[in-house]
């Protein structure tokens, strides 16, 4: 009976990997980059909104990259200080004063209103401020009073830990205008400096793409919606139509919620991997990465115990059964069991290899994916445990309640 159960699990895992490889939107490919684009006849105006909470450590590397954007149209940067205690706002002003570039406005909305996450509260304030006359905020040149600047046509919502290449904004806008997209999002290249980052971070992006295959997201009329919150170019008109961020104010996983809201209101969205947009936030230890994943993993499952149980069972079947079946089959002299487990493990490693190459990691790490998946399984369970202990979705001193309890 035990061998029969093991064989059934091994064949089910192999079937799952055949389906994932062939029918899950080619999630494993890493060539989804900005769509073909040409320069628009007129470059639309853009406001870059940066929510920032205690970001003094990374701001000297990231904010100058935004201020130095080589953009032919009208653009500005609005940094929203979300209750920082490390001098983030003052540092931002000093960085802007030290070099010429796009105009910078630093503002603080105060503590989030009940039912709001801090980041979305900051984005709400920054987006509303962007729609006011810029001449009144940054001052006007000597001479006749200029006409008030109209609301920006696009908003670039970007995290404070993201470094942008000088042409980042120009390329994003060209992609949006060329393909008539309401939302263009790039998954920033995350930092992989430490050994633990190299083991865990590529898998994080791989799992995300498995859940939300980029090609499926980008298909016109698709039902799958997702975005990467570190870099989102959003048409202002689409934001108003979707009622964001107010309509998603309780969302902990705000990027996916934003994409769903825009798509649900008739907007066209696009998601891909970035080439020259990078996160510099460090996660040097396993504990740092554990907190990063566990703070939102249970929220991804909508705080549902049944979804948690299904996720755990799925992770075991898809990622842990193949190596167990291969080794167990070899030890028990059951070649069919070993072949099923080995083929499933081979498909797993083969689909993971492109992501490792994207992150410039050795492809020889691909067979270690079951171990990394086990870590993610434990992080997900810990996320649920922390939630029921009242410490779920904690981020920089804030803990967010389950949306229905907020």
Q: What is the rounded CA–CA span in Å between residue 389 and residue 403? A: 16
**Cα gap 59→160, rounded to integer Å:** 7
pLDDT at 393: 61
Would you state the pLDDT for residue 40?
Answer: 97
pLDDT for 400: 55
User: What distances in angstroms separate CA 69 from CA 46, 47, 76, 95, 400, one per listed residue?
Assistant: 11, 12, 10, 15, 34
Residue 150: left (phi > 0), alpha (psi -120 to 50), or beta?
beta
In this prediction, residue 14 carries a pLDDT of 98
* Interaxial angle between packed helices 2-23 and 335-358, expressed in degrees from 0 to 180 and rounded to the nearest 10: 30
pLDDT value at residue 151: 87
Q: What is the pLDDT of residue 406?
A: 39
Residues facing 162 on adjacent strands? 279
pLDDT in tens, 39-86: 999 999 999 999 999 999 999 999 999 999 999 999 999 999 999 999
Task: Please tell me the predicted confidence (pLDDT) of residue 142.
Answer: 55
Cα 10 to Cα 272: distance, rounded to the nearest angstrom = 33
Instruction: Write down the pLDDT at residue 405.
Output: 42
Q: Which residues of 98-134 are buried (b: 16+ CB within 10 A; e: fewer)?
A: eeebbebbbebbeebeeebbbbbbbbbbbbebbeeeb
C-alpha to C-alpha distance for 74 and 71, rounded to whole angstroms? 8
Mean pLDDT by 10 residues, the chain (406 residues): 81 98 97 96 97 97 98 97 96 94 96 93 96 63 59 96 98 98 98 97 98 96 94 97 96 94 97 96 95 90 94 97 97 95 98 98 97 98 90 61 48
Count of CB atoms situated within 10 Å of the CB of 23? 9
């Amino acid at each position: 009976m035990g061998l029969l159960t093991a064989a059934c699990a091994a064949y089910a895992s192999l079937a799952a990997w055949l389906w994932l490889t062939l029918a899950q939107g080619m999630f494993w490919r890493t060539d989804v980059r900005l769509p073909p684009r040409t320069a628009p006849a007129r470059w639309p105006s853009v406001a870059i909104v940066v929510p920032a909470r205690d970001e003094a450590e990374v701001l000297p590397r990231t904010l100058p990259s935004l201020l130095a954007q080589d953009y032919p149209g009208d653009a500005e940067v609005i940094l929203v200080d979300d209750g920082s205690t490390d001098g983030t706002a003052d540092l931002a002003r000093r960085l802007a004063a030290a070099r010429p570039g796009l105009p910078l406005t630093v503002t603080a909305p105060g503590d989030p209103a009940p039912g709001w996450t801090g980041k979305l509260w900051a984005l709400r304030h920054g987006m509303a401020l962007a729609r006011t006359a810029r001449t009144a905020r940054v001052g006007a040149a000597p001479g006749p009073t200029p006409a008030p600047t109209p609301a920006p046509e696009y908003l670039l919502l970007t995290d404070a830990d993201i470094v942008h290449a000088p042409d980042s904004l120009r390329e994003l806008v060209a992609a949006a205008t060329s393909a008539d997209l309401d939302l263009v999002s790039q998954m920033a290249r995350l930092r992989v400096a430490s050994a633990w980052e190299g083991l865990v971070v590529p898998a994080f992006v791989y799992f995300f793409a498995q859940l939300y295959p980029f090609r499926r997201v980008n298909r016109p009329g698709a039902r799958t919606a997702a975005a990467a919150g570190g870099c989102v170019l959003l048409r202002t008109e689409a934001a108003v139509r979707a009622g964001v961020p107010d309509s998603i104010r309780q969302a902990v996983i705000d990027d996916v919620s934003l994409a769903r809201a825009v798509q649900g209101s008739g907007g066209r969205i696009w998601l891909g991997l970035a080439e020259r947009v990078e996160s510099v936030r460090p996660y040097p230890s396993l504990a740092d990465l554990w907190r990063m994943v566990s703070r939102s993993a249970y929220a991804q499952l909508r705080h549902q115990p049944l979804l948690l149980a299904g996720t755990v069972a799925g992770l075991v079947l898809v990622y842990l059964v193949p190596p167990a079946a291969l080794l167990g089959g070899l030890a028990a002299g059951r070649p069919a069991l070993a072949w099923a487990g080995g083929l499933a493990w081979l498909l797993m490693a083969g689909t993971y290899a492109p992501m490792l190459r994207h992150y410039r990691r050795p492809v020889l790490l691909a067979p270690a994916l079951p171990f990394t998946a086990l870590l993610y399984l434990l992080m997900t369970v810990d996320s649920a445990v922390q939630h029921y202990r009242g410490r779920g979705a904690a981020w920089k001193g804030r803990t967010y309640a389950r949306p229905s309890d907020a």
